[in-house]
């Protein structure tokens, strides 16, 4: 609708006809023309591999302006949330749509605390998995299995059940992740401690007595909290879109989130921070020669890629990467010995940003560029990096699943295709 109250439209002309399509405008002036009637009226579909130009829904949760490098959750700039809020406040904000009052936040945190234990059978199941299996596979399996242990919270049509599934997922995901890690290193699991807050409890269940105390311990907990906030939502990214697609069939919340975890596991999505660390290690093995490495990246014949740079949506700095860089500095400054990979990352960033080859292609550091070095400094193995991303992204997945469920415009996701296979042919006779 325009300011004068008139409905705005787009004219689509094609051989043999024309269509008038509604033009919709979002809160921030973004425009989308609606094509949902096109097949019925014109007999045509739109083709958009990877959905790079397709809005699959209307959403009130997260706003990104990729050209300006803006990210907001429920209207609040990510920088303000990073500085002023805790991860649990951000969970509340994303899921319920507003920041909690102090009493509401306490109630929310207490509810999660009292639901942090795993059902006994699930602990046995996690312990039975092979030690060397990837933690993301185990995480997705465990989350899927929550619907078997908690059949009283799998009905999407019952708001009380949806609330229960929401609480259980948020409460138990860190416990599941920590147990997977402890099993992978052959150490006994550590039960949740209700006297600790959400992030401290996760770090305690993960590292136990190996967790640093005092100032460094506090810094690690603050860093973890901040990283979870920065990963909490990113509108229709691959895993969130997956959660929505699965949820659109009225699958329960556990199964939908489990699908999202599998989507996140892919190296092009959540696995990218692991790839950055591997790239830095490769550069170190090349004797730290950044010019030689960047020359390889620019060489069309070589398969070398500058990992952690560029983003499908951001054509400017990823605002999360700025927050993370400052954090990385704080953590690594406190290390006893300088971290070679972090130093390499800083120099690589400087060189790439000073090189028009990368800036002309709008390749700027993204959220993954510095996260790996921070996680490593905190003591996490690379295989756990994507699990940490999943713990951060969980409130976003839940918020989108719930928003979609409440939206009367929701239909089961069922894209069309442009068939390009053989035309009808005769079936070969068999002797």
| Closest residue by beta carbon to ligand MLT | 237
Among residues 171, 214, 219, 165, the alpha carbon closest in space to that of 194 is found at 171
Residue 311 annotated among the catalytic residues of the structure: yes
In the complex, least distance from residue 316 CB atom to ligand MLT, rounded to whole angstroms: 14
Tell me the per-residue interface mask from 345 to 384 with ligand MLT, x by CB under 6 A, - otherwise: ----------------------x-----------------
Q: Which CB atom, from 147 or from 273, has the smaller least distance to ligand MLT?
A: 273
Would you tell me the crossing angle of helices 368-378 and 385-406 to the nearest 10 degrees?
A: 120
CA-CA distance, 82 to 26, in Å (whole number)?
25
Given 225, 311, 318, 400, the catalytic residue: 311
Q: Which CB atom, from 298 or from 312, has the smaller least distance to ligand MLT?
A: 312
CA-CA distance, 143 to 158, in Å (whole number)?
20
Q: Which CB atom, from 123 or from 324, has the smaller least distance to ligand MLT?
A: 324
In the complex, least distance from residue 388 CB atom to ligand MLT, rounded to whole angstroms: 13
Stretch 276-335 residues interacting with ligand MLT (CB under 6 A): 311-313
Cα 163 to chain centroid, rounded:
21
Q: Does 51 bind ligand MLT (CB under 6 A)?
A: no
Given 233, 252, 368, 400, the catalytic residue: 368
What are the backbone dihedrals phi and psi of residue 22, each rounded to the nearest 5 degrees, phi first?
Answer: -65, 140
Residue 368 annotated among the catalytic residues of the structure: yes
* E strand or H helix at 299: none
Q: Which CB atom, from 290 or from 313, has the smaller least distance to ligand MLT?
A: 313
Q: Which CB atom, from 74 or from 234, has the smaller least distance to ligand MLT?
A: 234
Helix (H, G, I), strand (E, B) or coil at 170: helix
Number of residues that bind ligand MLT (CB under 6 A): 6
CA-CA distance, 110 to 145, in Å (whole number)?
24
CA-CA distance, 259 to 35, in Å (whole number)?
28
Among residues 183, 147, 182, the alpha carbon closest in space to that of 168 is found at 147
Stretch 218-237 residues interacting with ligand MLT (CB under 6 A): 234, 237
Helix (H, G, I), strand (E, B) or coil at 397: helix
Q: Tell me if 264 sits within 8 A of 273, measured CB to CB.
A: no
Catalytic positions: 311, 368
By CB under 6 A, name the binding residues for ligand MLT.
234, 237, 311-313, 367
């Amino acid at each position: 609708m325009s300011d004068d109250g008139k409905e705005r439209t787009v004219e689509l002309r094609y051989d043999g006809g024309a269509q008038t399509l509604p033009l919709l405008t979002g809160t921030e002036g973004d425009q989308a023309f609606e094509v949902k009637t096109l097949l019925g009226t014109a007999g045509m579909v739109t083709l958009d591999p990877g959905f790079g130009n397709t809005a699959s829904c209307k959403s009130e949760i997260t706003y990104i302006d990729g050209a300006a490098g803006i990210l907001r959750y429920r209207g609040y700039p990510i920088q303000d949330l990073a500085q002023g809020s805790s991860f649990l406040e951000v969970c509340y904000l994303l899921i319920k749509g507003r920041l909690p009052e102090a009493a509401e936040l306490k109630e929310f945190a207490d509810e999660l605390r009292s639901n942090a234990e795993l059902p006994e059978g699930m602990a046995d199941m996690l312990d039975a998995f092979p030690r060397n299996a990837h933690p993301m596979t185990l995480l997705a399996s465990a989350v899927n299995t929550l619907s078997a242990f908690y059949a009283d919270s799998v009905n999407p049509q019952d708001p009380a059940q949806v609330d229960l599934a929401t609480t259980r997922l948020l409460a138990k995901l860190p416990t599941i992740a920590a147990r997977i890690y402890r099993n992978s290193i052959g150490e006994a699991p550590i039960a949740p401690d209700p006297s600790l807050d959400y992030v401290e409890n996760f770090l305690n269940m993960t590292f136990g007595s190996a967790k640093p105390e005092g100032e460094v311990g506090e810094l690690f907990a603050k860093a973890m909290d901040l990283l979870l906030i920065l990963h909490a939502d990113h509108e229709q990214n691959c895993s969130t879109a997956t959660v929505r697609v699965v949820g659109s069939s009225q699958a329960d919340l556990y199964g939908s989130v489990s699908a999202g975890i599998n989507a996140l596991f892919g190296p092009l999505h959540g696995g990218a921070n692991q790839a950055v660390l591997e790239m830095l290690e490769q550069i170190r093995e090349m004797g730290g020669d950044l010019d030689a490495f960047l020359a390889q990246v620019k060489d069309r014949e070589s398969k070398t890629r500058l990992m952690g740079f560029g983003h499908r949506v951001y054509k400017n700095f990823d605002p999360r990467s700025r927050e993370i860089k400052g954090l990385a500095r704080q953590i690594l400054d406190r290390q006893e010995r300088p971290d070679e990979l972090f130093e390499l990352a800083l120099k690589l960033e400087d060189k790439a940003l000073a090189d028009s080859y990368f800036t002309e292609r709008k390749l700027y550091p993204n959220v993954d560029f510095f996260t790996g070095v921070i996680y490593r400094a905190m003591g996490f193995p690379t295989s756990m990096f994507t699990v940490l991303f999943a713990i951060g992204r969980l409130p976003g997945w839940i918020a989108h699943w719930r928003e979609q469920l409440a939206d009367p415009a929701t239909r089961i996701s069922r894209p069309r295709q442009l068939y390009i296979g053989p035309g009808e042919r005769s079936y070969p006779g068999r002797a």
